[in-house]
A and B are shown apart, each in its own frame.
Chain A
Amino acid sequence: RETFVGHQVLEIIPRNEEQIQNLEQLEAQDHLEIDFWRSPTVPEQTVHVRIPFSSLQDVKIFLESQGIAYSVMIKDLQVLLDEENEEMLMNQR
């Protein structure tokens, strides 16, 4: 079973078209293995993206270098998954 320890979900708010294009460039970087839950669309619309632990530093540096605002929406995805799993087991019982 694949685990998601250390994966974070970031909420990003692009301010203009240029920042949206920057995010689209980021999305095209396959090696980062990022997973857009809500893709970049128009300025001021929130973007949600899951980032593996190994790519976190690269992505955050990229965002900061481009002046793109972000916050951590989910700090550790695996913690949520474990809680959900626990709840499912309880329901099954």
Chain B
Amino acid sequence: QERSSGFNFGAYHSLDEIFQEMDQLAAAYPTLVSKLQIGSSFENRPMNVLKFSTGGNKPAIWLDAGIHSREWVTQATALWTANKIASDYGKDPSITSLLDTMDIFLLPVTNPDGYVFSQTKNRMWRKTRSKIPGSLCFGVDPNRNWDAGFGGPGASNNPCSDSYHGPSANSEVEVQSIVEFIKSHGNIKAFITLHSYSQLLMYPYGYKCTKLDDFDELNILANSAAQALTSLYGTNYKVGPICSIIYQASGGSIDWSYDYGIKYSFAFELRDTGLHGFLLPANQIIPTAEETWLGLKTIMEHVRDHPY
């Protein structure tokens, strides 16, 4: 396969183009990067994950992006990040040491059906595309579908709502595929999910408003990560538990991962002030990815240095 030197990370791309670039990265860095399919979406599109590994069964960090399909800068940031991880290994001592200690799994398009739908039919689509029995409406909000306070406050039981939680926890095959992968891996030490809108860095909980056991550590770490992120372009981030810095929302992924035992569970809401809605101009993709990388790196270094 031809090397991907011509790929424009500063533009939005179709799902096929993203998948092609993932193949290119695996081909360009065969000893470090591989692609694995952890499942298929409702409409049978592959759930493709990039695995960054220097070999052995190491503890790992999970990253996913774009669970709400319309936030295209998220998927674009994930792809830039994939290239950054691959190209910095062996050059950047921090990434080299990280990958010598841990593996990274990156799912750049968590909701592939929604992503395609948002590019072809409805630019504002954020849900999956599953058919809801007994309803004319389609889709479930995949970040209300995890088994963490499922069906509680901050999620809708109306299938036509944008925050519909679905008929049952893990009803969405996209969510179920990730849950099964994390459980079968058995050694995931950090779970980081990338979203976009409002510039926030959050940790559990969202389904309840109680303080978590690791509050102090996660709060200090999240603040350091946000500071690192802000240092590049001055983008202002708010930091805190989901419940207090956004609102109570049940069935979210990082609540599930934390309750499952993954201490370092975080959610980023990347750069988007709202002025452009979910239409962040393409010339902001790379700056968004660059600043996010500094935050991600801060968290990943901490995870590497604080095994548990």
- Mark A residues whose CB is within 8 Å of B: 1-2, 4, 9, 11, 30, 35-41, 46, 48, 50, 73-74, 77, 80-81, 83-84, 87-88, 91
Q: How many A-B residue pairs have CB under 8 A?
A: 60
- A81 contacts B279, CB within 8 Å? yes
Closest to B278 in A: A37
- B277 contacts A50, CB within 8 Å? yes
Stretch from B120-128, B144-152, B257-265, B296-304 contacting the other chain: B120-128
Tell whether A2 pairs with B247 under 8 Å between CB atoms, given A84-B279, A88-B11, A88-B12. Answer: no
- A41 contacts B246, CB within 8 Å? yes
Chain A residues with CB under 8 Å of B245's CB are 41
Can you pick out 11 interface pairs between chain A and chain B where the beta carbons lie within 8 Å of each other?
A1-B120, A9-B277, A30-B160, A35-B124, A35-B162, A36-B162, A37-B277, A40-B247, A41-B245, A50-B124, A91-B11
- Mark B residues whose CB is within 8 Å of A: 8, 11-12, 120-124, 158, 160-162, 197-198, 245-247, 274-279, 281-282
Tell whether A39 pairs with B121 under 8 Å between CB atoms, given A9-B274, A30-B158, A77-B277. Answer: no
Alpha-carbon distance between A62 and B8 when the two chains are bound, in angstroms: 46
Closest to B119 in A: A88
Chain A residues with CB under 8 Å of B162's CB are 35-36
Alpha-carbon distance between A88 and B12 when the two chains are bound, in angstroms: 7
Say how far A35's CB is from chain B's closest CB, in angstroms: 6
- Interface majority SS (helix, strand, loop, mixed), chain B: loop
- Interface majority SS (helix, strand, loop, mixed), chain A: mixed
Chain A residues with CB under 8 Å of B12's CB are 88, 91
Alpha-carbon distance between A73 and B124 when the two chains are bound, in angstroms: 16
Tell whether A11 pairs with B279 under 8 Å between CB atoms, given A39-B247, A81-B123. Answer: no
Say how far A87's CB is from chain B's closest CB, in angstroms: 6
Chain A residues with CB under 8 Å of B278's CB are 37
- B197 contacts A74, CB within 8 Å? no
Closest to A40 in B: B247
Alpha-carbon distance between A45 and B275 when the two chains are bound, in angstroms: 16
Chain A residues with CB under 8 Å of B246's CB are 39, 41
Our pick among A2, A11, A40, A74 for the contact of B122 (Cβ within 8 Å) is A2
Closest to B17 in A: A92
Our pick among A4, A35, A73, A88 for the contact of B274 (Cβ within 8 Å) is A73
Say how far A67's CB is from chain B's closest CB, in angstroms: 22
Chain B residues with CB under 8 Å of A38's CB are 197-198, 274
- B282 contacts A87, CB within 8 Å? yes
Alpha-carbon distance between A36 and B274 when the two chains are bound, in angstroms: 11
Chain B residues with CB under 8 Å of A35's CB are 124, 162
Chain A residues with CB under 8 Å of B276's CB are 74, 80
Alpha-carbon distance between A75 and B158 when the two chains are bound, in angstroms: 29
Alpha-carbon distance between A89 and B12 when the two chains are bound, in angstroms: 10
Tell whether A48 pairs with B121 under 8 Å between CB atoms, given A35-B162, A39-B246. Answer: no
Chain A residues with CB under 8 Å of B158's CB are 30
